[in-house]
Amino acid sequence: MSTELRDVPNCVAQNQLSQTRFWGGENRMTCVQITQRKAKGEKAGIAGDFFNHIQLTKHQARQLAVELMLFAEDREVEEI
């Protein structure tokens, strides 16, 4: 079973980001899927004709949130 969470605020049109919480199984447990509508004209694959998505465990979401906050604050860490 999955649950639709609120869309990420202030992201509209092709930049709209939606969130879905779902059970990822005994190993992954509760996960989140972030979905974004593909831009018009973007080449579509068989599995995702209209959307891009990423699925994350809670641990992955926490780690990504840290990196995104660093980026948003102009403090991102560059790969050497």
Q: What is the mean pLDDT of residues 41-55?
A: 74
Alpha-carbon distances, residue 75 vs 60, 65, 66, 72 (angstroms)? 20, 13, 11, 8
In this prediction the pTM is 0.81
Three-state secondary structure call for residue 63: helix
- What does the pLDDT look like over 24-40, one tens digit per residue? 999 999 999 999 988 77
d(CA 12, CA 36): 10
Q: For residues 22 and 33, is the Cβ–Cβ distance under 8 A?
A: yes
**Amino acid, res. 17:** L
